[in-house]
Amino acid sequence: MKVAVVGATGMVGEVMLKVLAERNFPITELLLVASERSVGKKLTYIGEEYTIIGLNDAIAAQPDIAIFSAGGGTSLEWAPKFAQVGTTVIDNSSAWRMDPTKKLVVPEINAHELTTEDKIIANPNCSTIQMVMALDPLHKKYQMKRVVVSTYQSVSGTGVKAVQQLENEIAGVKGEMAYPYPIGRNALPHCDVFMENGYTKEEMKLAREPQKILNDRTFSVSATAVRIPTAGGHSESVNVEFHNDFELSEVRKLLSETPGVTVQDNPDTNTYPMPIYAHGKDDVFVGRIRRDETQRNTLNMWVVSDNLRKGAATNAVQIAEYLMENSLVSSASEAVS
């Protein structure tokens, strides 16, 4: 496959290249694409040096797959142009997620919905991905009614500028601020921009995306998203009310048997998920599994994942792998001709 990584110089783009290499994705030609200010710079992939090219040159090369992580504006403008030349686009921004004509995909859950007609495929929000990975097997068994989630999100979810702000604060250095307040020794109940309803855009992604991924609007999600001073890995406190009752032993078994989910749940040995353990890993980690004793059929759990991997890069690469393995993507140049 001829593969383009759009946004190759960004934080997620760098992880994307790392994941492609780790998973031995079959690339016959690699195009590293970034904004005009980065064109001509060099990047190394598996020991070979590549020159960054611009978007127009990438389209002219007609890649078979283009994995985008360059922001919503770039995706809205350029993804259709890639699709027009036969490229299948996997987009990591929020640009296409709630578009009713585009699939929103977590491969373990709904990759089977993909067809050869899907030329722009949306990668869900990082916090959504880890939450639905834990909820999907439980929803199938017990039928969710309502989810209340509070997130504890790494500064890496904001980007390089935010990571630098945290590092500056730790070092006692004054520098550019990604947030309106210090993040070190602090917690900001402010992820993304505020909307008219008082929720942030991040919180509304958590409310709406799971319904689309699970193809079910019979349950609701209420979210509060908080930024904390961790360098990598998002954590979530998830409270889920089901229509049907459950046994905790069965919940643990269901989650343990779910591909991509690892249960870490033993209070006797202080075993529970933490960002420091999830860093650099692709699984979603679930622990602190316990019954909510204040109302019927309700479960509490703690969900942690590396937001740059399963929350972004790994999920996108898994989509690309599924497309290839199921012959849902072909040579773009052949498709156009």
* CA atoms of 297 and 199, how far apart (whole Å): 27
Does residue 139 have an active-site annotation? no
Q: Is 152 helix (H, G, I), strand (E, B) or coil?
A: strand
Residue type, 53: I
* CA atoms of 300 and 284, how far apart (whole Å): 16
What are 329's two structure tokens?
Answer: 């993507």
Long-range contacts of 157-161, Cβ-Cβ distance < 8 Å, separation of 24 or more:
157/126, 157/127, 157/191, 157/227, 157/234, 157/307, 157/311, 158/227, 159/10, 159/11, 160/10, 160/11
* CA atoms of 244 and 209, how far apart (whole Å): 23
Single out the catalytic residue among 112, 190, 234, 279.
234
Give the phi and the psi of residue 29 in degrees, each rounded to 5.
-150, 130
- In the chain, the largest separation of any two C-alpha atoms, in whole Å, equals 63
- 3-state SS string over 30-88? EEEECCHHHCCCEEEECCEEEECECHHHHHHCCCCEEEECCCHHHHHHHHHHHHHCCCE
**What is the edge-to-edge ordering of all strands in the sheet holding 120-122?**
29-33, 2-6, 65-68, 88-91, 120-122, 103-104
Does residue 234 have an active-site annotation? yes
Single out the catalytic residue among 126, 190, 243, 279.
126
**What is the edge-to-edge ordering of all strands in the sheet holding 298-305?**
220-227, 144-153, 234-242, 298-305, 284-291, 261-263
**Dihedral of alpha carbons 50, 55, 60, 65, sign:** positive
Residue type, 78: W
Q: Which residues are catalytically annotated?
A: 126, 234
